[in-house]
Amino acid sequence: MKKKNLSVKKKIHNFYSKKLKDPRIKRIYINFKKKISSHISSSFCVAVSGGVDSMALSFLAKCYSLENNAKVFFFIVDHKIRKNSTSEANLVKKKLKLFQIDSNILSIKKVKRSKNLLSFARDNRYKLIIKQSLIKKIDLILTAHHNDDLIENFFIRLLRGSGLKGLISFGKIKSKAKFNDKIYIFRPLIDIPKKDLVYISNNTFNFNVEDPSNLNDKFLRAKVRKLISNLEEYGLTFEKFKLTLNNLSKSNYTIDYYVQKNINDNSNYLKLTKTVILKENFLTQPDEIVFRSFSEIIQKVGKKNTFARGSKVENMLKYLRSNNNYSKKTLSGCIIQKISNSVIISPEKRENT
């Protein structure tokens, strides 16, 4: 290596080492390192949006890679929803390069109109990163979700009528990716307040891009942020919220136990035909147990990465519980037929391509 390159490398190492001497940053980094050390082998990737949260995550991930000689891939997605998204992505890449962070820009080639632009952008962002992760044989994607996001998502899902499982699912530090169950989303900052990440970002790279949608009342998330701000005046704290979330998680754990018991006791899986037969007692369990059990079986037989829509599952269960309904139905890649007091669920035949 040339003497100049060695000098630059030493300078960069000194930059990160110096920043970690800040007590506040050091405390957060130790927390971060402790979380990911037990989940990461040799490589992982970081989803970078350019906001203060992801810039703070980029700093922490780079520190970890330098200390542990880990291979880290940084992915920036140009979603092309805003007209300046491409220039923003290039600017983020350029800024990261100044701190010896090589990143890749992943671009969405075509943007179709969508009623929910934020959901559209998020889904396509994950799809692109997951695709690259599979290519590079990475199974862990680090995101910068923090405890403010946790509270926001709880209220957003509450307003949308989510059940217990939906309300608490975002709180997991590690979960399977929506579009591929071989990839995991890892949230090492989920218990860190946003103000701490703002502090890291401002005192390290001192750069971020602002997403105007964060302040646009047209979007539900912006409205929820204002709602939470008002609730904080009446005593809402993360500690109180986390206590509630833990209590809900315990209830969810109990339900999951009986869901698996219902599947084990009241269904048979025929490996040869990849078919599941539901016994008569399967549908007589409490509604939530039946709903989740049925959803899991449908996902398994249909080989889908995501669960079928709740409303469609509810309609199918209502149909199966009705008398004299014996015609075949389809749902999420499955053929479903009621025969006497049993239900047969088999995979749809897929045409060879």
Q: Where are the domains of the chain?
A: 3-236, 245-347
pLDDT at 117: 65
pLDDT at 152: 86
Instruction: Tell me the per-residue pLDDT of 305-326, one tens digit each, with 9 for 90 and over.
Output: 778 888 899 999 999 988 777 7
Residue 74: helix, strand or coil by DSSP? Answer: strand
The per-residue DSSP string of 143-180 comes to ----HHHHHHHHHHHHHTT--HHHHHHTT-SEEEETTE
Q: How far apart are CA 191 and CA 28, in angstroms?
A: 10
Instruction: Tell me the per-residue pLDDT of 154-194, one tens digit each, with 9 for 90 and over.
Output: 888 888 778 888 888 777 888 888 777 788 999 999 989 99
Q: Does the structure show a pLDDT above 50 at 250?
A: yes
Provide the residue count of the chain: 353
Give the DSSP letter of residue 283: G
Q: How far apart are the first and last CA of the chain?
A: 50
Report in angstroms the alpha-carbon separations of 203 from 22, 55, 76, 96, 174: 9, 11, 22, 15, 28
* Secondary structure element (H or E) that encloses residue 338, with its range: strand 334-339
Q: Which residues pair with 71 in a beta bridge?
A: 43
Instruction: Tell me the per-residue pLDDT of 16-36, one tens digit each, with 9 for 90 and over.
Output: 999 999 999 999 999 999 999
Query: pTM score, two decimals?
Result: 0.78
Q: Which residues pair with 74 in a beta bridge?
A: 46, 103
**Cβ-contact 100, 65 below 8 angstroms:** no
- What are the E-state strand segments in the chain? 43-48, 71-78, 103-107, 140-142, 174-177, 180-186, 267-270, 275-278, 329-331, 334-339, 342-347
| Mean pLDDT of all residues belonging to the chain | 86
Which position has the token pair 């952008």? 121
Q: Which residues pair with 104 in a beta bridge?
A: 75
Q: CA Rg, the chain, in Å?
A: 24
Which position has the token pair 């053929």? 335
**Cβ-contact 40, 140 below 8 angstroms:** yes
Q: 9 or 3: which carries more pLDDT confidence? A: 9
Q: How far apart are CA 347 and CA 77, in angstroms?
A: 35
The yes/no answer on whether domain 3-236 falls in CATH 2.60.120.260 is no
Instruction: Tell me the per-residue pLDDT of 35-90, one tens digit each, with 9 for 90 and over.
Output: 998 887 678 999 999 999 999 999 999 999 999 888 999 999 888 777 788 999 99
Average pLDDT of the residues in 240-253? 88
Q: How far apart are CA 282 and CA 259, in angstroms?
A: 10
